[in-house]
Structure 1
Amino acid sequence: MDADFVIVGGGSAGCVLANRLSADPSCRVVLIEAGGTGKGFMVSMPAGFGDTISKPGHSWHYHSAAEDAIAGRQMLLPRGRGLGGSSNINGLLYVRGQHEDYDDWERGGATGWGWDDVAPLFARSETYANANANANASDAADPRGRRGPLRVEEDAHDDPTSRAVLDAFEQIGVPRNPDYNTGSQLGAFHYQLTVYGGRRCSAADAFLRPVMQRPNLQVITDAHCRRVLFTGRRADGVEIEQRGATRIIRVAREIIVAAGAYHSPQILMQSGIGPAGELARNGIAVLHDSAQVGANLQDHFILTMSWRLRAGAFSYNRELGGARLVWNVLRYAATRKGPMTIPAAQTGAFVKSDPAVYRPDIQFHCLPVSGELDQGERVLSPYPGLSLAPCVLRPRSVGHVSLAGPDARTPHIVHNYLTDEDDRRLSLRAMRMARELVATPALSTMVEREAYPGAAAGTDDELLDYARRFGNTGYHPVGTCRMGSDENAVVDPQLRVRGVDGLRVIDASVMPRIVSGNTNAAAIMIGEKGADMIMQRV
């Protein structure tokens, strides 16, 4: 045997698993990553995410199928390429989600995944800069971690426009929230970020690179996993392709698929686990007919709106273009400070679409910068601007992942954004709430006009048309290898693939329902809990 454990995928969950499993020196662990090392200046520079998402290199550039509900568009769906996965290219926002998200998972059959079960794992994984510094406080008693690998800080940028945004939320009845990752999520705030010392703290930086020299851990990059191999119904190997050569790695204990919501179901299907009809159409022998492999695909749908600010109002637009951009990149390289340290959103809020709603159902991402729409793509506006980008937190529109061919590297992806009536209703409420925010005394004196969608878009149909044509992925695909206790679930609550032995899926694809907010923190938590299950610590 070549290994006790093979982990397929070096993304957020995979990096956690490699760290935790190889901590036992008796375990031989192999991590396989289809991309490269995940290193680079644009990766480590926080504001570099705009470049790494939009250009191939550090991301795989997938596209959805053309979808009628979003004006026939094929949505660009970047995913992280290299060790660290999408934690290398995300907007750096650290959001755990709402306690009720995890309690709902448990009520739906994900036994052991309620909030009280997962909260200690979030704390274990992080060092939060504002955590209780009391050395006598136990980690179990502190909701925020003080000794974990992942560094989390509150956004430190303080500017008049962002302060006005927070004031505006208060003026529409949304209170300040000092820590949306503990207690209630409701409120407005500065986002918490996975940064440290002015650099991105990816999952590879936090969990993998500090342990790469362990003699029992082997990391293989630029290697594509073609399929899992079985003897009978037991997984005991993987077939990988690296630089044109095929290699088989044999496994003594378990294989863990951690390739993300697009690729984990694809690997299962290419290995004979999935809907029988789908496998037959692609000439793949059925090992286990599992109808929901690839189903239940969920994502957040971001509705970016922008405003032109009056001359003199604070905005990053001037700093991120032309000679100023070059200067600011050089400044960052020398000092790790300045505009190139900004995340995807500095301030934000979790709000209720209606006071009668039990918990927040809309999230806002706010940044004092704006873009122009040029043939469907956003380019930097030549004037000072403000962007407010809300999304529906728990969308009901569900898509699927299927095979584009028996050996295709890229899966067939259908998200079905905005196909659910309730999603459309809440999207309209979110966009109108953004306009209410700008109409407050705190912001109205700064704003010259609404740039996108523009004041002419006043009716529900006009706003929905804008959402369909210019709304974008939240980069949060989950759910395609759903966890549960029912026989239709792809994996059980121990994350073991049903119908076979020796195989688990441990990544965001196991989420039964998308969490209320950005998904990277939850993916890391899933890696932590999966490692505990494998090592029989729970």
Structure 2
Amino acid sequence: MTYDYIIIGAGSAGSILAARLSQDPKTRVLLLEAGGSDRSFWFDIPAGYARNYFNPETNWMYSTEPEAGMAGRKIYTPRGKVQGGSGSINAMIWVRGQRQDFDDWKAAGNPGWGYDDVLPWFRKLEQHPAGETEWHGASGPVGITPMKGQTHPICDHFLQAARELDLPLSDDFNGADFEGAGIYETNIARGKRQSSSKTYLTPALKRPNLTLRLRAEVTRILIDDTGRATGVELQTPDGPEQLSAAREVILSAGAVGSPKLLMLSGIGDPEELARHGIALRAALPAVGQGLQDHLCASYYYRSTLPTLNDELRPWWGKLRAGMRYLLARSGPLALSVNQAGGFFRTASAVDAPNIQLYFNPMSYRIPPSVKAKLEPEPYPGFLLAFNACRPQSRGRISLASADPRAAPLIRPNYLATERDQREVIEASRLIRRFMQAPALKAITVEEVSPGLQTASDSEMLDYLREQGGSIYHLCGSCTMGPDPSRAVVDAELRVHGIRGLRVADASVFPNITSGNINAPVMMLAEKAAAMISASAR
């Protein structure tokens, strides 16, 4: 069967692309998703992401290869395998990033991607309670909740600590003042997750010209002898199936899935493809290269005050929180656990904030086993976590084999540069500085982990190597740029050397953005849909 557009991946980007391109009733759009439906209650409730953290039905549950910079450990790397993609299983922090992030995209040879260029597309996404302003939109599909006034009271101590340290405060990280301490915004509305699947795709599926196929894993993009993408090959229970695209194939499988599928289709580094016996269709050595991620570490504290640990650890506390959510769509289950935080400068900062902090009114540890659950610590506690905003280290995605069912090899190459190592130490000292502020010192019994015995630079760096992990912001593995020897797509997101094929997801980021990347991915999809529609006209 032939469609005008075939979109691979119903994640944060693919859901928006399908909804926007199908607005033209004459355009036939097919959206393919390897996972299942997101109609479950657990994809509506914001706290439901804890249930999907180790769920192979909704999560690819990848791990990196052993990382030299992380004490030789494999780092867990969850990716959404469900309608809505990773946007259906993330923690919903709504941060765009700072001006410099996008101005650097433009400076890398990508006209139309500077901050002033992308701001209207960010605004177009939003249904913001502030209304139509210079910074926000009010008529978009994605409901936004600024958590100010709803957060746990202990978050006020974090904000007061910033004042005591003479650090700036930000009333809106997505407004005029990116730098400083504040309360995060979330893509939550009326107590429900506002993924692009829920807000864009689900309403659009009523259109007869939009088809969604679930549990449909694409194994190859079909390319004819003229160098044009003509469709896709799927693996079905009845065997392989081929579908045709009259206009374009759009790849939105994410920072892991998109480079994998390009390589399986013969697009990539000739030497790597030859190793796996894959026929070369386009020599693009940058496919899979340039991978970036935010690396984080958490510092754990025992509190003199009650925290969400006290509310959500006992069974009766869970029951009470559940009833509160069901009856009023309120309480801790209606919010993100990442409530306060901000963006700060350390000594390594050049001209912009370089460290992001998360202040969580609950302390929990990542379980060592996939059979375990995310549970609060058994004491009143909170945690402070950090990541560098713009790490220098870059890694790669590569093929394990030519078998489409084989997980790709993920090598982020964490802490590969001296500056990245230095920023980790500076961020650790920033946390310790916060904890010495009177507002936090007064409510702290002890630093549970790593403990004050971890004091030297080398000890702080070792703590991150041994206990830190990904914060799940993988991007940059099919980077956007004008030079086919160093980039995969151009500024219109068209794959160099292949007609009728684009990539539109986090993999095209020329550099990682400062903060959580779900909002930038959605912005990119809105802008991409407009470019694709304009090209068709």
Q: Distance in 2 between matches of 1:124 and 1:271?
A: 34
The aligned counterpart of 2:523 is: 525
Task: Give per-residue Cα distances to partners, 1:158-183, cap 9 Å, x unaligned.
Answer: 33310010111122222221111122
Task: Give per-residue Cα distances to partners, 1:15-45, cap 9 Å, x unaligned.
Answer: 1100110001111000000001123222211
The aligned counterpart of 1:88 is: 88
Equivalent of residue 503 in structure 1, options 501, 504, 527: 501
The aligned counterpart of 1:124 is: 124
Q: Which 10-residue stretch deviates more, 68-77 or 439-448?
A: 68-77
- 2:229 is equivalent to residue 235 of structure 1: yes
**Is contact 1:159–1:314 with CA below 8 Å preserved after alignment?**
no
- 2:379 is equivalent to residue 386 of structure 1: no
Structure 1 residue 316: Cα displacement: 0.3
Task: Give per-residue Cα distances to partners, 1:485-514, cap 9 Å, x unaligned.
Answer: 123210011100001110000111000000
| TM-score normalised by L of structure 1 | 0.95
- 2:292 is equivalent to residue 298 of structure 1: yes
- 2:274 is equivalent to residue 276 of structure 1: no
Matches within 5 A, 1:348-387: 348-354=341-347, 357-371=350-364, 379-387=375-383
The aligned counterpart of 1:153 is: 145
Query: Aligned partner of 2:480: which letter?
Result: M
The aligned counterpart of 2:391 is: 395
Task: Give per-residue Cα distances to partners, 1:106-158, cap 9 Å, x unaligned.
Answer: 111111111111110000111112234xxxxxxxx632011001111101423
**Does the C-alpha gap of structure 1 residues 374 and 503 become closer, same or farther in structure 2, counting only changes over 3 Å?**
closer
Structure 1 residue 379: Cα displacement: 4.6
Query: Aligned partner of 1:510: which letter?
Result: V
Query: Aligned partner of 2:217: which letter?
Result: H
SS where residue 432 of structure 1 aligns? Answer: helix
Identity of aligned pairs, percent?
40
Q: Distance in 1 between matches of 2:193 and 2:368?
A: 31
Matches within 5 A, 1:295-444: 295-310=289-304, 313-323=305-315, 324-354=317-347, 357-371=350-364, 379-409=375-405, 410-444=407-441
Could you tell me which runs of 5 or more consecutive residues in structure 2 were left unpaired when the two chains were aligned: none
SS where residue 317 of structure 1 aligns? Answer: helix
Structure 1 residue 193: Cα displacement: 0.3
SS where residue 332 of structure 1 aligns? Answer: helix
**Is contact 1:306–1:385 with CA below 8 Å preserved after alignment?**
yes
Structure 1 residue 372: Cα displacement: 5.2
Matches within 5 A, 1:166-181: 166-181=159-174
Task: Give per-residue Cα distances to partners, 1:65-93, cap 9 Å, x unaligned.
Answer: 01121111111111112111111111110
Q: Distance in 1 between matches of 2:367 and 2:254?
A: 31
Structure 1 residue 375: Cα displacement: 5.2
**Does the C-alpha gap of structure 1 residues 506 and 241 become closer, same or farther in structure 2, counting only changes over 3 Å?**
same
Q: Distance in 2 between matches of 1:158 and 1:373?
A: 23
Q: Distance in 1 between matches of 2:458 and 2:219?
A: 45
Q: Distance in 1 between matches of 2:335 and 2:61?
A: 24
- 2:468 is equivalent to residue 468 of structure 1: no
SS where residue 69 of structure 1 aligns? Answer: helix
SS where residue 154 of structure 2 aligns? Answer: helix
Query: Aligned partner of 2:201: which letter?
Result: L
Q: Distance in 1 between matches of 2:49 and 2:469?
A: 16
**Is contact 1:304–1:389 with CA below 8 Å preserved after alignment?**
yes
Q: Root-mean-square deviation (CA), in Å?
A: 1.7
Structure 1 residue 370: Cα displacement: 1.0
Q: Distance in 2 between matches of 1:495 and 1:60?
A: 25
Equivalent of residue 254 in structure 2, options 254, 260, 280: 260
Q: Distance in 1 between matches of 2:453 and 2:366?
A: 16
**Is contact 1:111–1:485 with CA below 8 Å preserved after alignment?**
no
**Does the C-alpha gap of structure 1 residues 182 and 374 become closer, same or farther in structure 2, counting only changes over 3 Å?**
closer
**Does the C-alpha gap of structure 1 residues 372 and 487 become closer, same or farther in structure 2, counting only changes over 3 Å?**
closer
Could you tell me which runs of 5 or more consecutive residues in structure 1 were left unpaired when the two chains were aligned: 133-140
Query: Aligned partner of 1:406: which letter?
Result: A
Task: Give per-residue Cα distances to partners, 1:354-403, cap 9 Å, x unaligned.
Answer: 39731100001111111357759975211111111111000011110000
Query: Aligned partner of 1:445: which letter?
Result: A
Query: Aligned partner of 1:417: which letter?
Result: Y
Q: Distance in 2 between matches of 1:56 and 1:192?
A: 29
Structure 1 residue 244: Cα displacement: 4.8
SS where residue 173 of structure 1 aligns? Answer: coil
**Does the C-alpha gap of structure 1 residues 24 and 413 become closer, same or farther in structure 2, counting only changes over 3 Å?**
same
Q: Distance in 1 between matches of 2:125 and 2:11?
A: 15
**Is contact 2:325–2:333 with CA below 8 Å preserved after alignment?**
yes
SS where residue 78 of structure 2 aligns? Answer: strand
- 2:212 is equivalent to residue 214 of structure 1: no
Structure 1 residue 473: Cα displacement: 0.6
**Is contact 2:12–2:521 with CA below 8 Å preserved after alignment?**
yes
Query: Aligned partner of 2:334: which letter?
Result: T
